Amino acid sequence: MSKVVERLVCSQLVAYLEEHNLLPRLQSAYRKFHSIVKLACDALLEADLGNVSLLGLLDLSAAFDTVDHSILISRL
């Protein structure tokens, strides 16, 4: 059930953000027809110039699964 809710929320949130033009132009995550090729290309170009690149990734895909659902329901 949590995966169904997750997909529904994700699709509605992404639709809202795209409709109101709130997503950065180069963001790849959770967007159809976008890839990380631009990110990889930029990192390689900076490496060729001798610069250091730092990439921080945050994956919250399993965060909802760690929530105690009975507490969540009571608070909602």
How many Cα atoms within 13 Å fall on the side-chain side of residue 41?
Answer: 5
Question: Of the candidates 59, 58, 56, 39, which has an alpha carbon nearest to the alpha carbon of residue 47?
Answer: 39
Average pLDDT of the segment spanning 47-72 = 81
Task: Write the pLDDT tens digit of every residue in 4-57.
Answer: 888 888 889 888 988 998 888 777 776 777 777 878 888 899 999 999 988 887
Q: How far is CA 26 from the centre of its chain?
A: 12
Q: How many residues does the chain have?
A: 76
Q: Note the pTM of the prediction, 2 decimals.
A: 0.44
